[in-house]
Amino acid sequence: MILAAPAKAPPAPPPPPPGQEKKDEPEPPQEAALLPELTRFSRRFPMILLSRPSDLIYVIWLFFVVAAWNWNVWLIPVRWAFPYQTPDNIHLWLLADYTCDFIYIADILVFQPRLQFVRGGDIVCDKKDMREHYMTTERFKMDVISLFPMEIFYYFTGVNSLLRFPRLLKYMVFFEFNDRMEAVMKKAYIYRVIRTSTYLLYSLHINACLFYWGSDYEGLGSTKWVYDGKGNAYIRCYYFAVKTLITIGGLPDPTTVFEICFQLINYFVGVFAFSIMIGQMRDVVGAATAGENYYRACMDSTVKYMNSYSIPREVQNRIKTWYDYTWKSQGMLVMDVQYLDMMENRNVWKDSMRMDIAVDVNYTIVSKVALFQGCDRQMVFDLLTRLKSVVYLPGDFVCKKGEIGREMYIIKQGEVQVVGGPDLETVFVTIRAGSVFGEISLLAGGGGNRRTANVKAHGFANLFILDKKDLAEILVHYPESQKLLRKKAKTMLTKDKKPEEKETRKEVAEVIPPRPDTPKLFKAALKVTERAGIEGTFAKMKKVYQPAEGQTEVGREGWREEENEGGKEVEKEGSKGARQSREGGKEVENQGREVGKETRMFLSALRVLMK
């Protein structure tokens, strides 16, 4: 909807987008007449109000609007029926009328276009969006019609209060004020009692006005049934209405056909209206004392149970003390009456009925989740009955980093944001309706899987929660779906862990240096022994100590163990060579001993170098 400024009003507003301009060309003439005034007032007073429906300032303003509406509701019938509006005081009546009209206009131009609203789970605070939203509601149309200037007919009929009946069409503000008052007050049942009593008084008020009109039509004092014109007219007619609607009796009998018909209608309306009022009053008082009645019922049933099983008196006193303390400290027990009734009704339902309701409401959302695509259709149906719907308010944290994850979340409506930073205000990503998060916690085989991010609601968010235990109980009956989910879980977990493994390998390669090459002195000793003819002994040492490509050093302790084992093997080979030398000749035996001594000396020196 385009809000254009008047042709002569500088400065002109910026041109709207082309598509939006074509879309919003057709407008009702009454609405279009108010648009320039609305735009001009909002531009002149830009910070006068940007309110939420629950703000106390807005509730106070609604009080004045409701007072103006009640002026018309109560006094239009009085001014029409009773002769209280005279030429001497007509200026006072008109002043009050136009003051109420000014309040109506201020509500339309100032407050309602600046009222925040919820769209798709988000709280809309943009001034243009709020203004356009108000103009598309049914309330805006009724508000405009309520200000239709029928006072122009005063020129032909004189000041007739019935011409102000369009002002009664602003009735929506009355019901909104009732809702806001009940939300603000701590004891809302008090206001409900006052409101119900007001309904009764207003019905008597209308009946009193009609009785005076009927008496005037028949002629004041013409019969015993009509008003005789003595005393205060409104009080005497109101007294007649009370006796008629409450059916007290003691009234004079009607004589004419008009009086009989009027009285019959009064009796019928009185029976139904008064019974409805009594029923509403009973409901209001019952709701006000529901918590106390539930507490008394629980207390009585517990005492009856303890007496039937002969529970010791000391135990009974302790239980009674606990009930009394719980009621006095909390004002209610842990379980609410309405919640218990709802759970009892759910237990009465058949499983098929719960399944049908769950499928009709939630299947279109869950079927779009990629995690469950390809699974058994009946398994998805069973899954729908285990979903728990939770509504998060704007700014509520769905999960926090470091928490143990036991649930998966499916966004039904609204948006959530992954936040971080020192003040948890940095938004990394926004997840919208139909998306899933937390599935790693649901599919991970081992326990102790912690959340890796902070997720909070952006606006109002309605989420489905699936518990890990509920999924495990369902998958027992669907092995094929269980295998498919395990395969998907393995793929997701492997995908998440690959970068971590690569980084770990790089760190290990940097921390543990590669094994150094064989010392030159040891290579020289090997060549000497090969020339001497004892190749078997040091060939084995060469295989043990020769470094392989890519082999890394385990540590200094590993070197020491290999060194000791190699020395022992060398000594064994030396002894074996000595035996061969004795068989072959003393000269070879002496060479073997010398080589063994040199080897031990070399290993000792090598051990010192390693230290």
Comparing 208 with 186, the larger pLDDT belongs to: 208
| E strand intervals along 339-395 | 388-392
Model confidence at 337: pLDDT above 60: no
Grade residue 511 by pLDDT with cuts at 50, 70 and 90.
very low
Q: Are 220 and 228 in contact (CB under 8 A)?
A: yes
Domain boundaries, given as residue ranges, for the chain: 46-184, 201-333, 349-496
pLDDT confidence tier of residue 327, bands split at 50, 70 and 90: confident
Quote the pLDDT of residue 29. Answer: 41
Instruction: Read off the pLDDT band of 70 (50, 70, 90).
Output: very high
- Decide which of 27 and 398 is more confident: 398
β pairing state of 397-399 and 388-392: unpaired
Find tokens 């009704």 and name the residue.
Answer: 345
Residue 302's pLDDT band, with cuts at 50, 70 and 90, is confident
The larger pLDDT score, comparing residue 229 to residue 28, is at: 229
- What is the reported pLDDT for 4? 37
3-state secondary structure string across 485-504: HHHHHHHHHHHHHHHHHHHH
Q: Give residue 209's pLDDT.
A: 94
Window from 89-103, 146-160, 263-277, 527-541 with minimum mean pLDDT: 527-541
Residue type, 109: L
Nearest to residue 148, comparing CAs of 93, 95, 105? 105
Asked if the model's pLDDT at residue 286 lies above 60, the reply is: yes
Q: Give the C-alpha separation, 66 to 61, whole Å.
A: 9
Q: Express each pLDDT in 412-466 by its tens digit.
A: 888 999 998 888 888 999 998 888 888 777 776 555 578 888 999 888 888 888 8
Q: Give pLDDT tens digits for 581-609.
A: 455 556 656 666 776 676 677 667 666 55
User: pLDDT value at position 80?
Assistant: 92
349-496 has CATH 3.90.1210.10 classification: no
Q: Which of 193-197, 207-211, 469-473 has the highest mean pLDDT?
A: 207-211
Percent of the chain at pLDDT exceeding 90: 19
1.10.260, 1.10.10, 1.10.287, 1.20.1070: CATH of 201-333:
1.10.287
The model scores a pTM over 0.75: no
